[in-house]
Amino acid sequence: MTPKTSVLDPIEALKAHGEVRAYEAGAVLMRVGEPSDRVFLLIEGQVEVWLEGDSEPIAVREAPTVLGEVGWVLQTPRSATVQARTPVQALSLDGAWLRQAYLQGDPAVLRFVWYLMENMAERLHEMNQKVRALHAHPTGRRTRDIERLRAALQEVMI
């Protein structure tokens, strides 16, 4: 099996087309409902993913990873709020530039998009496992499990 691509592989080439930003713990990188016009490469730190109205995060992500890619690919508003859990460093990339560079075959962007595909495939695989587990549970526990599945599906759609 081929080793998984690291999102950091193309980062030096991508830095020339984006902005590396530092966020203090508690700072918001993106909010639910905002346009998905930027993609973030989390270089350092951890973030929490929040659904609107929830009292606890549905996920914690740590560097290196990508944030905001699903909304960017689907061209839909943000489905969650992402907040720095620790001090964070992230590369912010303009979505329009990223799309154009991909269509032009930019090698760094092609590596980056390959990473996105691997990442999304992993999340889909995890969701499939959660759905299988949900089907295996007794009926009395389904409501709680359905709520967990809903939260997990929202996480995939960040």
List, in order, residues 6 or more apart from 50 with CB less than 8 Å away. 32, 57, 58, 80, 81, 82, 83
Domain boundaries, the chain: 11-119
SS (H, E, C) 47-86: EEEECCCCCCCCEEEECCEEECHHHHHHCCCCCCEEEECC
Q: What is the pTM of this model?
A: 0.76
In tens, the pLDDT along 99-135 reads: 999 999 999 999 889 888 888 888 888 888 878 877 7
pLDDT at 147 (0 to 100):
74
Closest residue by Cα to residue 149 from 58, 77, 61, 80: 58
Share of the chain above pLDDT 70, in %: 86
CATH of domain 11-119: 2.60.120.10
Q: Give the C-alpha separation, 32 to 50, whole Å.
A: 9
pLDDT value at residue 9: 66
Higher pLDDT, 17 or 45: 45
Rounded (5°) CA angle 65-60-132: 95
Round to whole Å and give the CA distance between 98 and 39: 9
What local confidence, expressed as pLDDT, does residue 152 receive? Answer: 77
Question: Going edge to edge, which strands form the sheet with 28-30?
Answer: 28-30, 81-84, 46-50, 59-62
What's the pLDDT at 76? 95
List pLDDT tens digits, range 65-105.
899 998 999 999 999 999 999 999 999 999 999 999 999 99
